[in-house]
Structure 1
Amino acid sequence: MSYENLAGRTALVTGAASGIGEAVAVELAAQGAKVALLARRAERLEAVVGKIRADGGQALAVVADVTDGASVDAAVERIHEAYGSVDLVVNNAGVMLPNPIEDARVDEWQRMIDTNVTGVLRVIGAVAKDLTDAAARGRSADLVNVSSIGAHVTGFTNYAVYGATKAAVTHLSALLRGEFGPRDVRVTNIEPGLTESELASHIDNDGLREQVGGMVDAMGTLSAAEVADVVAYVTSRPRHVNLRQIMVLPTRQA
């Protein structure tokens, strides 16, 4: 689908080596945006960038780790050198590591907090001035945070810490509207349900991995491209229109 108001914009997408992030980068580039793809896997990033360029789009691979502040700052500097300031940011990088809380997997807790919460904050801090400057010049400016239905589902056993990190992202998005909205920067929080991605591959608990597989079999999934279409839609609205909160699920997912 073709959307107006995305051509000529400069987008930064985190977690862009696969899944939703990759699909968002591909979709925004197809709509005419210059897209900087951030992730840790250089080879995978280059492959996605190659695909975008082969289709006539503009894309830049930027190897970066959102859990490292210096890495994020260096990535934004590289984007500035290549494309100038950013006016569309999609915070998508995330990790899901479920386990019973009594296992006390502090390493997993810390990794999820560092990636899903602090990583989001690092990126926002690094590009906030870009967004407010773009809006001050009369351009559309968007911050899109990809949260999860897990921010609300309390009966999803063994996902407490993951859900808590995503709830933090959802609440952060709401609070940031108070800071950014009056300066014409839109903040959108998107909460996907079951979606094709690599998240389940991170699970090291066989029983929980099988549980996810059973849910997929019973309810189906969204494709990453379908979530990317939502991102493209909300960021292409007239600049005075902010779709602030979107929950998108497979129809069978309650």
Structure 2
Amino acid sequence: MSYDNLAGRTAIVTGAASGMGAATARLLAAHGARVALLARRTDRLDDLAAKITADGGQALAVTTDVTAPASVRAAAARVRETFGGADLVVNAAGVMLPNPVAAGRSDEWARMIDTNLSGALHVIDAFRADLAAAGAAHRPADLVNISSIGAHLSFPDYAVYGATKAALTHLSEILRTEFGPLGVRVTNIEPGLTGTELGDHIDNVSLAAQLDGMHAAIPALTSEDVADLIAFTVTRPARVNLRQLIVLPTAQS
């Protein structure tokens, strides 16, 4: 599918070091968007930026910790110096660390809340003026938040992860009432089982095996599937806001 009207747009993609973030950055750049790659892993970002540039795209690698407001503000300043104001923001940074609440893993709780919710808020705050300026100029302006079906489905031992994603889903809903009148579209995307690195950080052997079993039984979505959905969403006519999208593997009920 052609997404030629991405040409000339400036996109921010968090979590760009891997998975959905990296796939989204590649696709947006391939269709002419200037893409700022935000994540913590500098080597991964530099490699991706080099590949995008080699393919004829424009990319800026900006090492960023979304859990730290000062880091996000510094990234926003660098993007503006290089590309100008952003008109497309994709919050793809996230972490999934399942464990029973009874395990008392407050370290994991804090990490998920700081990344999945607070991190998204820091990014929104840093770029909201850019999005509003694009909307005021009657140019496309999009905020895309990557949530999860865990936001509204109950998976045992995923309580805190699901809570952070439910909060992000609800945040997106409320933001539409604030940003819509400014000409800024807000889209919340809830993927089901997807082949990414999220599961690599699980330290509960039983739950890691359970997730591996799901991947063995169900042909999962790919990161590129989600990236394609994002690109489709942000290239609709300005009057159209695809407000919430749930995307599942066909075999996942």
TM-score between the two structures when normalised by the length of structure 1: 0.99
Which residue in 2 is equivalent to 1:246?
245
| Sequence identity (%) | 63
Secondary structure in 2 matching 1:139: coil
Which residue in 1 is equivalent to 2:83?
83
CA distance in 2 between partners of 1:227 and 1:153 (Å): 19
* TM alignment of 1:9-28, pairs within 5 A: 9-28=9-28
Runs of 4+ with >4 A deviation: none
CA distance in 1 between partners of 2:127 and 2:71 (Å): 14
CA shift, 1:97, in A, is: 0.4
CA distance in 2 between partners of 1:88 and 1:230 (Å): 14
Which residue in 2 is equivalent to 1:68?
68
CA shift, 1:218, in A, is: 1.4
Query: Does structure 1 residue 161 correspond to structure 2 residue 160?
Result: yes
**Residues 96 and 202 of structure 1 are in contact (CA less than 8 Å); yes or no, is this contact kept in structure 2?**
yes
Secondary structure in 2 matching 1:113: helix
**Residues 5 and 237 of structure 1 are in contact (CA less than 8 Å); yes or no, is this contact kept in structure 2?**
no
For structure 1, the 5+ residue unaligned runs are none
Task: Return the letter of the residue paired with 2:39.
Answer: A
**Residues 64 and 72 of structure 2 are in contact (CA less than 8 Å); yes or no, is this contact kept in structure 1?**
yes
The Cα offsets for residues 228-252 of structure 1, whole Å up to 9 and x where unpaired, read as 0000000011111100100001001
Query: Does structure 1 residue 95 correspond to structure 2 residue 89?
Result: no
CA shift, 1:220, in A, is: 1.7
Q: CA RMSD in A?
A: 0.6
Task: Return the letter of the residue paired with 1:48.
Answer: L
Secondary structure in 2 matching 1:89: strand
CA distance in 1 between partners of 2:34 and 2:21 (Å): 15
**Residues 86 and 130 of structure 2 are in contact (CA less than 8 Å); yes or no, is this contact kept in structure 1?**
yes
Query: Does structure 1 residue 122 correspond to structure 2 residue 133?
Result: no
Task: Return the letter of the residue paired with 2:118.
Answer: T
CA distance in 1 between partners of 2:48 and 2:205 (Å): 30
Which residue in 1 is equivalent to 2:106?
106
CA shift, 1:193, in A, is: 0.6
Which residue in 2 is equivalent to 1:152?
152
The Cα offsets for residues 83-120 of structure 1, whole Å up to 9 and x where unpaired, read as 00000000010000000110110010000000000000
The Cα offsets for residues 112-132 of structure 1, whole Å up to 9 and x where unpaired, read as 000000000000001001001
Secondary structure in 2 matching 1:5: helix
Task: Return the letter of the residue paired with 2:85.
Answer: S
CA distance in 2 between partners of 1:196 and 1:99 (Å): 20
Secondary structure in 1 matching 2:44: helix
The Cα offsets for residues 33-80 of structure 1, whole Å up to 9 and x where unpaired, read as 000000000001011111111110000000000000000000000000
CA shift, 1:210, in A, is: 0.4
For structure 2, the 5+ residue unaligned runs are none
CA distance in 2 between partners of 1:149 and 1:52 (Å): 30
Secondary structure in 2 matching 1:38: strand
The number of residues matched between the two structures is 253
Task: Return the letter of the residue paired with 1:96.
Answer: M
**Residues 4 and 32 of structure 2 are in contact (CA less than 8 Å); yes or no, is this contact kept in structure 1?**
no
